[in-house]
Amino acid sequence: MSSKNPVRTAPHFVAEVDEGGLGAVDAVRVSDRKSNLWLDAWRDLRGRWMFWVSAAFILFIVFVALFPTAFTQVPPNDGCMLSVKSQEVADSLGVPIGTRISDHGPLPGHPLGFTKQGCDVFSRIVHGTGTSLSVGIIVTVLVAVMGVVIGAFAGYFGGWLDSLLMRLGDIFFAIPYILAAVVIMSMFLHERNIWVISLAIGFFSWPSTARILRSEVLRVKNLDYVMASEAIGLSKFRTMFAHVMPNSLAPVIIISTVGLAGAITAEATLSFLGVGLPNNIFMSWGNDISAAQNSLRTAPFTLIYPSIALSVTVLAFIMLGETVRDALDPKARATR
Amino acid sequence: MIWYIVRRLLQGIPVFFGSTFIIFSMVFLTPGNPVLRMFGDRTPAPEQIAALEAKFHLDQPFLTRYFLYLGDILQGNLGTTYAGQSVNEILARTFPTTLRLALLAVVIQLAVGVLAGLISGLRKGGLFDNVTLLVTLVIISMPVFVLAFVAQWIFGIQLGWFRPTVGAGAPWSDLLLPAIVLAGLNMAYVVRLTRASVIETSQNDFVRMAYGKGLSRGRVIPVHILRNSMIPVTTNLAADFGILIVGATVTEGIFNVPGVGNELFKAINRGDTPEIVSIVTILVIVYVLVNIAIDLLYGVLDPRIRYVK
């Protein structure tokens, strides 16, 4: 054997890496700034005015939701009055005693006027922020967790589990989630609260997240680092949670931001239909819009102000979602 | 093609069973006795309860009741409302109106949406494009009932161009405003999809080739660009339909259109659970069928889909 393959002793002339032009190509520039998907996305986001405007507005909304009393001292529900009864109130509002307050326009201390029940419109909007935002966040987290876990198991383990989970997704997808929520909420007539309505909305909206995550997992699971982690003996679960899932999350973040806007809309729609949160306990923009519809001709502002609050909040989340999508998805950038 | 149709229809069967099963389970799992709920505050005699439980098969086990419910649906018997009206009759009376409203909405949505998307896609970055993007963003962020009220207030009450609510017999002219609102929901998505798709298609070699061999814009844009850009828009029609169903419920309620959505809207307001469940079941079945129909249409448009194993 050795006679057939003699050890090469002849000197062979190969240029040192440094000498050739290839050195510059192969070299890893350690001093260069780090780069990965998230850092690139952040650099992209930093330069967009739409990102800063929507992010600032969302922070503001969160602040309003956490500290509503910093913005208004007027209670949203107590002290509502159809007409001015006492001299003391009449003096503070600057109107004669006996004035009808129901659907009345702005008065001192009440910048946006009064609802049909004589409650302060501005205060109800401020106090309704928390409801919308909590439902939005709970639904989004619920949908993201269900979608990610189901999608990851289906995509990574494949086989019969994949078929089963995805057919289940088809079935849930076949029921428009607002209709399902209508059925659930009309069942829970006496137990309506933020958790029930969030579950009602979220329980039927996970399939789209699961589908997106699954297709992303299918792409990621054939990459080298996944094979490497299996090769060094990591269990399938460990590989899935430590390597596959984190690298498949970008599309879920995009769909979740827009989904948050969708959840806020869904809560308002359910409240509008009359199967949302009870309006004597929870302030909800949907409830207020619903209650104001009979005053559309006489006092349109009672309907328009909460509608503006709702639409602008939804707009902020959609704008954030779009900028995040553009930053995370280079393909979306091409058609911008 | 025939196998593609058969396979797609077969795939619809588990979805049908699954979705009806879920709706049924939700009703079944509701806490409290439904018979007692029918009586409201009064307490019925035990014999009365037993008789009603037997009548509605409430004394049967879960699966038996599911199959009884499924049998009723398949035989076209949708039960009665709390007030004793037949849901079949209600649907027969209201369905044609909803169909007209939905058709009008889809026509408006496609005509305006595709045209606007095409123009902004061809003139990417232009004034029209930027204005359209802004308008679609605003429309997307307005929930359907806000959109409906704004339209009703501006065009119905302030300007007086349309009747704010639909009159008897629901003539086409009265349906126009609710249809525009309903179309507005999906129109924004149609515009954006068409635009993105037109931009992507325009960069293809076959488009450059078509211009290269001397074809006019008047031929390249409709035949080569638009036709190839319609596939994503068609696929999205299926998802649009779900939005359309919910949108119709709200829009019909607000404009008082005598359609299925309005019946559902009123049933929800009355808390008439049997009617809500019957109408939702029918809507879900229609949704599943429409999805299958759109998939078949998609197979016609794009031959590649048919041959995927």
pLDDT of residue A33: 65
- B127-142 average pLDDT score: 86
Encode pLDDT of A44-53 as tens digits: 788 888 888 9
Other Cβ atoms closer than 10 A to A181: 29
pLDDT of residue B40: 62
Q: Is the dihedral of CA A19, A22, A28, A32 positive or negative?
A: positive
**Residue A130 falls inside a structural domain:** yes
Q: Which amino acid is at A81?
A: M
Encode pLDDT of B104-131 as tens digits: 888 898 889 889 988 888 888 788 888 8
Do A122 and A74 touch, CB atoms closer than 8 A? yes
- CB within 8 Å of chain A, chain B residues 95-134: none
Q: CB-based contact (8 Å) between A297 and chain B?
A: yes
Q: CB-based contact (8 Å) between B283 and chain A?
A: yes
Chain B positions in Cβ-Cβ contact with residue A334 (cut-off 8 Å)? 199-200
Domain spanning B94-301: CATH 1.10.3720.10: yes
pLDDT of residue A259: 87
Q: Which amino acid is at B268?
A: I
pLDDT of residue A56: 92
R_g (Cα) of chain A, nearest Å? 29
The answer to whether A184 contacts B26, with C-beta atoms less than 8 Å apart, is yes
A296 → closest Cβ in B27, B149, B264 = B149
**Residue A169 falls inside a structural domain:** yes
Cα of B274 to nearest chain A Cα, Å: 10
- A54-67 average pLDDT score: 90
Q: Which residue of B has its CA nearest to A265?
A: B143
pLDDT of residue A1: 43
Q: How many CA atoms lie within 13 A of B169 on its CB side?
A: 3
The answer to whether B284 contacts A174, with C-beta atoms less than 8 Å apart, is yes
Indicate which CATH number applies to the domain containing A277.
1.10.3720.10
The answer to whether B23 contacts A300, with C-beta atoms less than 8 Å apart, is no
**Mean of the per-residue pLDDT values of chain B:** 80
Encode pLDDT of A114-128 as tens digits: 777 777 788 888 888
**Residue A289 falls inside a structural domain:** yes
- A70-77 average pLDDT score: 75
pLDDT of residue A2: 45
pLDDT at A8 over 70: no
Between CA B145 and CA A40 the distance in angstroms is 39
- CB within 8 Å of chain A, chain B residues 57-96: none
The answer to whether A269 contacts B143, with C-beta atoms less than 8 Å apart, is yes
Burial B149-180 (b: 16+ CB within 10 A, else e): bbbbbebbeeeeebbbebeeebeeebbbbbbb
Between CA B86 and CA B94 the distance in angstroms is 13
**Mean of the per-residue pLDDT values of chain A:** 79
Q: CB-based contact (8 Å) between A180 and chain B?
A: yes
- A55-82 average pLDDT score: 81
**Residue A22 falls inside a structural domain:** no
Q: CB-based contact (8 Å) between A178 and chain B?
A: yes
- Looking at per-residue pLDDT, the higher value among A197 and B297 belongs to A197
Query: Which structural domain, as residue segments, surrounds residue A231?
Result: 49-335
Host H or E run for residue A198: helix A194-202
Q: How many CA atoms lie within 13 A of A79 on its CB side?
A: 11
Other Cβ atoms closer than 10 A to B147: 23
> Which pLDDT band, with edges at 50, 70 and 90, does B8 fall under?
confident
Q: Which residue of A has its CA nearest to B129?
A: A336
Between CA B139 and CA B192 the distance in angstroms is 12
Q: CB-based contact (8 Å) between B271 and chain A?
A: yes
**Residue A315 falls inside a structural domain:** yes
| Token output for B165 | 């609510």
pLDDT at A141 over 90: yes
Most confident segment among A193-207, A284-298, B67-81: A193-207
pLDDT at A253 over 50: yes
pLDDT at B168 over 70: no
Do A272 and A289 touch, CB atoms closer than 8 A? yes
**Residue A176 falls inside a structural domain:** yes
What ranges make up the beta strands (E) of B121-200? none
pLDDT at A22 over 70: no
- Looking at per-residue pLDDT, the higher value among B265 and B30 belongs to B265
pLDDT at A27 over 70: no
- A211-222 average pLDDT score: 85
Identify the CA nearest to B273 among candidates B79, B115, B125, B118.
B79
Do A220 and A247 touch, CB atoms closer than 8 A? yes
Interface predicted TM-score (ipTM) of this complex, two decimals: 0.79
Select the residue from B246, B270, B285, B286 to test the A interface by mutation, using most A Cβ atoms within 10 A.
B246
Q: State the total domains in chain A.
A: 1
3-state DSSP helix/strand/coil percent for chain B, to nearest 5? 80, 0, 20
pLDDT at B180 over 80: yes
> Which pLDDT band, with edges at 50, 70 and 90, does B229 fall under?
confident
A179 → closest Cβ in B142, B245, B271 = B245
The domain locations on chain B are: 94-301
Chain A positions in Cβ-Cβ contact with residue B11 (cut-off 8 Å)? 170
pLDDT at B265 over 90: no
Q: How many CA atoms lie within 13 A of B182 on its CB side?
A: 34
Encode pLDDT of B67-77 as tens digits: 888 887 777 77
Q: CB-based contact (8 Å) between B268 and chain A?
A: yes
